[in-house]
């Protein structure tokens, strides 16, 4: 989006004016004028993007503005970089005639902006969708499938069961899922079911879709009841008529493709809420919409096809009902079906492609090599995803497209993704919330819209990892390409041995990702003066010869983001310190031992993540002087230089800090820390009170590491006093502390604690007597690698416990029933434990299930028992 590029440049200019006055001496007036013009341009773009039809004229002007802003940003940053390299430091930039450079930038931008205003004023008013006319796909133009429907039998049975349930008021059932998963096909299958047609005398099908018009929705419903011409009536007149007709008998109303909560709120007044004989079934891509329609019933999330179902559907598409796949094609055919990742639309599209190549194994193998490309080349796929994309708010679009930068089928760390979004300038500050909180909200929104799949969640329910379906990833890459948004470009090597895009074209790209052939790429000596991000997320380690360790800064001197963890370094590449615009660095190396003092030159740096296997990592930089630093993360014990500067208030993550570096002066300056990890001899921290002053700290991890001592008496002397813990602590992890179970009462007194993880013999001893009155807000208890044998409980020791996780507790005999008596328990996860403990968990699960009358846990408060499939003594445990 052009407005995102404008916003980012505007923020940089504002930062220069506020934080770097010594940098811009003599150019203040011109920079303030540029700031004013960018603010006007940004407001104009946002208004017109929301209110005007985005046809080709708009797209062309938007592209011109974006490229002009990119060039302006590059020019400004190149001036700063050049002076920093030649003038002996960033503070000597005063003598540069920056005012002249900024004035020239303004003069270059103004004509483009003026032309855009004139062109935009001639555009027609939009219908509110923001989707170009030629990209709109109406559901009424689609042919609904009634044959070759595979994998919906169980889904259909579940939904029909809901439809047959008796309720005291109108029951709304929702189907949600990602684009192409078959929500409409399933709903139509139910609509055509003879038993449903018998049960509900009035069946009404309404296409809602993006081009929402509540009046048309009401007219469609009324046509099922009356032939009277009501086309001249307004929507507010039609709503009571619809309600009065629906109140008279048994009906089933299908509402396909409800897009927004606002659309539903316009429909809702026409529905008779107090009727016992009516049902409504909706399909939606957005879970927020589905949840709004019925607060008492969870949305039915449509599952993906499994491998067998995908193969069955593919055979039906290619060979029909009466023919089977030839034996020599079966292997490659099953591989193709698997690559469709369980999405019926992808299988159908590929099936259409293979029909023309029915018996040619060589052609099938070609398709197998690039299934996602064939799927995306089909207009049906592009259109159906495009509908979701164009419905996204503008602040989400670049975040969504950026997901295509990761390799196929990658499990993406949410922490990495959100910090990258921030560094790339996709996240704008919102009042009362941090950039990280806004970024996490954006990810939640994309998951709720079923464009991103939440893979793993943290103990507190937040997303830990996510995935993007290959079909959606391919769309993101195409939309983000140079010809469209120039957001990023993946560099690939073709079968012919050449790179795409060509090395000579790299200079025009904004962001690059490359996941293989990295050394060969740099041997070609590419140049990218406008490249702002260089990332490599290969799942395999990539060897980079020593002569190429400086290739990244030599090739791209305006980089903001460097994430190359698959490349292994022995030390911090010195030339990276020349990249003064860097905001994000992620590096790795088995012998990576230090962050040099020269890193202090990187005054824009926000995030530093180092993966290393060493025990101690020396940070020679005075981090209090790095005013923008927000996250410093590594698993080694960070040895910090003595803090002398006056900064540090932006620091949110410091993990893991060596125990020796824990000083009151440090925490006084870094008072806004939210995530802190400490590794080393923790005995000196037991009496310290300064952690108790960190009011913003929510997550604390303490690893008691007495290396090189190998004594068995390396236990932490005792648990710190209650007042020594941060007052708003939500997540606490203890590892290798070897504390006595009798000291658990201190942790139980922490009023705000929601998650407690006890790892690597955090507590030792054979007996734990848990008592009621503590852990009043604890929701997750995780115990792993413990020698605990007997666990007893009295009273109600964990009244709000939702998740109980026990791993590698081989000696523990059973779980006390008092621990699981609470109604809030949702998950019990057990792995590598004794057979008696498994039986104990199974017994509790069975009793709880029977007590709740056999109803599902979502409605009655039961819980899910999850055991390790690799455990020989594991029991089948999840209730239906």
pLDDT in tens, 31-66: 777 777 777 777 777 666 655 445 566 667 777 777
pLDDT at 56: 64
Give Dmax over CA atoms of the chain in angstroms: 90
Architecture of domain 2-126: Up-down Bundle (1.20)
Pick the CATH number of 394-469 from 3.40.50.300, 3.40.50.2300, 1.10.10.10, 3.40.50.11890: 1.10.10.10
Grade residue 324 by pLDDT with cuts at 50, 70 and 90. confident
For 735, the token pair is 């590892």
The enclosing H or E element of 185 equals helix 183-191
pLDDT at 858: 36
Grade residue 333 by pLDDT with cuts at 50, 70 and 90. very high
Lowest mean pLDDT among 2-6, 344-348, 661-665: 2-6
Lowest mean pLDDT among 89-93, 201-205, 324-328, 575-579: 89-93
pLDDT at 89: 41
- CATH 1.20.5 domain extents, the chain: 2-126
Higher pLDDT, 461 or 654: 654
Higher pLDDT, 624 or 155: 155
Lowest mean pLDDT among 381-395, 500-514, 701-715, 760-774: 701-715
> Is residue 195 predicted with pLDDT exceeding 70?
yes
279-305 pLDDT, tens digit each: 999 999 999 999 999 988 999 999 999
CB atoms within 10 A of CB 235: 17
Query: Is it true that domain 139-301 has CATH number 3.40.50.300?
Result: yes
* CA angle at 830 for the pair 825 and 836, rounded to the nearest 5°: 105
Instruction: Pick the closest to residue 640 from 597, 591, 681 (CA basis).
Output: 597
| Cα–Cα distance measured from residue 454 to residue 555, given in angstroms and rounded to the nearest whole number | 36
Range picked from 56-70, 207-221, 433-447, 520-534 for highest mean pLDDT: 433-447
> Is residue 599 predicted with pLDDT exceeding 80?
yes
pLDDT at 85: 59
> Is residue 338 predicted with pLDDT exceeding 50?
yes
| Cα–Cα distance measured from residue 840 to residue 863, given in angstroms and rounded to the nearest whole number | 15
The enclosing H or E element of 864 equals strand 864-867
- CATH 1.10.8 domain extents, the chain: 307-379
Higher pLDDT, 817 or 695: 695
Residues 6+ apart with CB under 8 A from 554: 575
- CATH 3.40.50.300 domain extents, the chain: 139-301
The string of DSSP letters for 495-551 reads TTS-EES-GGGGGG-SEEEE-S-HHHHHHT----TT--EEE---SS-B---GGGTTH
The enclosing H or E element of 566 equals strand 561-568
pLDDT at 98: 59
Grade residue 157 by pLDDT with cuts at 50, 70 and 90. very high
Higher pLDDT, 733 or 325: 733
| Cα–Cα distance measured from residue 736 to residue 761, given in angstroms and rounded to the nearest whole number | 5
Mean pLDDT (whole number) for 604-618: 94
Lowest mean pLDDT among 150-164, 500-514, 704-718: 704-718
> Is residue 569 predicted with pLDDT exceeding 80?
yes
CA separation, residue 715 to residues 218, 706, 721, 731, 819 (Å): 71, 9, 17, 22, 27
Considering the entire predicted model, what is its pTM? Answer: 0.87
CA separation, residue 227 to residues 220, 254, 744 (Å): 11, 20, 73
Q: What phi and psi values does residue 722 have, to the nearest 5 degrees? A: -55, -40
Q: Express as a percent the part of the chain with pLDDT over 70.
A: 85
> Is residue 856 predicted with pLDDT exceeding 70?
no
pLDDT at 19: 57
Angle between helices 56-86 and 98-121 (to 10 degrees): 170
Mean pLDDT (whole number) for 786-802: 93
Residue bearing tokens 């039998």: 153
Q: Mean pLDDT over all residues of the chain? A: 84
Class of domain 307-379: mainly alpha
pLDDT at 852: 59
98-145 pLDDT, tens digit each: 566 667 766 777 777 676 666 666 555 444 444 444 444 444 444 455
435-448 pLDDT, tens digit each: 999 999 999 999 99
| Cα–Cα distance measured from residue 551 to residue 541, given in angstroms and rounded to the nearest whole number | 18
CB atoms within 10 A of CB 296: 9
pLDDT at 88: 39
| Cα–Cα distance measured from residue 707 to residue 729, given in angstroms and rounded to the nearest whole number | 28
Mean pLDDT (whole number) for 570-576: 89
Mean pLDDT (whole number) for 337-345: 92
pLDDT at 143: 46
| Cα–Cα distance measured from residue 601 to residue 628, given in angstroms and rounded to the nearest whole number | 12
């Amino acid at each position: 989006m052009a407005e995102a590029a404008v916003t980012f440049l505007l923020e940089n200019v504002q930062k220069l004016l506020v934080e770097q006055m010594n940098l811009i001496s003599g150019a203040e007036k011109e920079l303030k004028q540029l700031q004013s013009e960018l603010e006007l341009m940004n407001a104009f773009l946002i208004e017109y993007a929301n209110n005007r039809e985005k046809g080709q004229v708009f797209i062309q002007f938007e592209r011109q503005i974006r490229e002009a802003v990119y060039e302006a940003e590059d020019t400004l940053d190149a001036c700063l970089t050049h002076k920093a390299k030649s003038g002996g430091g960033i503070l000597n930039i005063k003598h540069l005639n920056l005012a002249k450079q900024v004035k020239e930038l303004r003069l270059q931008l103004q004509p483009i902006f003026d032309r855009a205003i004139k062109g935009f004023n001639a555009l027609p008013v939009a219908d509110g969708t923001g989707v170009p006319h030629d990209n709109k796909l109406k559901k009424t133009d689609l042919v609904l499938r009634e044959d070759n429907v595979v994998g919906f039998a169980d889904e259909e049975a579940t939904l029909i069961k809901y439809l047959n349930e008796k309720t005291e008021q109108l029951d709304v059932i929702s189907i949600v899922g990602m684009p192409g998963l078959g929500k409409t096909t399933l709903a139509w299958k139910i609509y055509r079911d003879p038993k449903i047609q018998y049960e509900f005398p009035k069946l009404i099908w309404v296409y809602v879709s993006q081009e929402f018009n509540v009046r048309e929705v009401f007219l469609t419903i009324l046509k099922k009841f009356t032939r009277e011409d009501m086309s001249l009536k307004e929507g507010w007149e039609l709503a009571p008529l619809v309600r009065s007709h629906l109140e008279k008998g048994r009906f089933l109303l299908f509402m396909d493709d409800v897009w927004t909560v606002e659309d539903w709120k316009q429909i809702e007044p026409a529905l008779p809420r107090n009727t016992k004989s009516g049902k409504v079934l909706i399909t939606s891509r957005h879970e927020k919409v589905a949840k709004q329609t019925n607060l008492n019933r969870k949305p039915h999330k449509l599952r993906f096809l499994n491998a067998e179902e995908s193969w069955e559907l593919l055979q039906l598409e290619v060979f029909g009902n009466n023919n089977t796949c030839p034996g020599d094609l079966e292997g490659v055919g099953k591989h193709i079906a698997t690559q469709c990742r369980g999405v019926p639309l992808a299988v159908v599209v590929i099936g259409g492609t293979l029909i023309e190549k029915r018996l040619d194994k060589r052609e099938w193998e070609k398709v197998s090599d690039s299934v996602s490309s064939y799927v995306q080349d089909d207009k049906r796929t592009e259109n159906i995803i495009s509908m979701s994309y164009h419905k996204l708010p503008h602040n989400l679009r670049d975040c969504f497209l950026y997901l295509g930068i990761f390799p196929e089928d990658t499990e993406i760390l949410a922490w990495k993704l959100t910090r990258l979004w921030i560094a790339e300038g996709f996240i704008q500050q919102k009042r009362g919330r941090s950039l990280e909180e806004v970024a996490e909200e954006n990810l939640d929104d994309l998951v709720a819209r079923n464009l991103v799949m939440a893979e793993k969640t943290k103990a507190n329910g937040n997303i830990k990892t996510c995935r993007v379906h290959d079909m959606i990833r391919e769309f993101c890459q195409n939309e983000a390409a140079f010809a469209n948004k120039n957001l990023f470009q993946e560099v690939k090597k073709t079968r012919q041995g050449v790179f795409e895009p060509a090395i000579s074209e790299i200079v025009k790209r904004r962001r690059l990702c490359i996941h293989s052939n990295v050394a060969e790429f740099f041997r070609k000596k590419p140049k990218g003066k406008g490249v702002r991000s260089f990332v490599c997320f290969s799942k395999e380690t990539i060897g980079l010869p020593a002569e190429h360790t400086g290739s990244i800064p030599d090739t791209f001197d305006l980089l903001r983001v460097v994430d190359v963890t698959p490349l292994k370094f022995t030390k911090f590449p010195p030339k990276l310190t020349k990249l003064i615009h860097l905001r994000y660095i992620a590096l790795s190396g088995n012998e990576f031992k230090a962050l040099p003092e020269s890193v202090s030159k990187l005054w824009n740096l926000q995030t530093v993540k180092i993966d290393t296997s060493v025990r101690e990592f020396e940070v020679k930089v005075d981090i209090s002087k790095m005013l923008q630093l927000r996250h410093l993360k590594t698993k080694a014990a960070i040895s910090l230089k003595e803090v002398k500067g006056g900064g540090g208030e932006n620091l949110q993550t410091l993990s893991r800090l060596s125990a020796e570096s824990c000083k009151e002066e440090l925490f006084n300056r870094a008072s806004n820390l939210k995530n802190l990890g400490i590794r080393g001899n923790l005995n000196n921290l037991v009496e310290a009170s300064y952690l108790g002053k960190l009011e913003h700290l929510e997550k604390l991890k303490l690893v008691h590491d007495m290396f090189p001592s190998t004594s068995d008496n390396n236990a932490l002397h005792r648990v710190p006093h209650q007042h020594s813990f941060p007052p708003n602590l939500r997540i606490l992890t203890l590892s290798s502390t070897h504390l006595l179970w009798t000291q658990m009462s201190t942790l139980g007194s922490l009023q705000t604690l929601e998650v407690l993880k006890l790892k690597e013999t955090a507590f030792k001893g054979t007996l734990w007597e848990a008592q009621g009155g503590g852990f009043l807000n604890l929701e997750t208890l995780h115990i792993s690698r413990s020698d605990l044998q007997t666990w007893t409980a009295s009273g109600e020791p964990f009244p709000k416990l939702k998740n109980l996780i026990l791993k590698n507790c081989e000696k523990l005999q059973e779980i006390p029933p008092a621990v699981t008596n609470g109604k809030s328990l949702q998950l019990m996860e057990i792995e590598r434990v004794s057979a008696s403990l498994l039986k104990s968990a199974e017994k509790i699960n069975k009793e709880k299930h029977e007590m709740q009358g056999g109803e599902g846990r979502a409605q009655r408060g039961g819980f899910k028992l999850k055991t390790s499939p690799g455990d020989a003594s594991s029991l089948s445990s999840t209730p239906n």
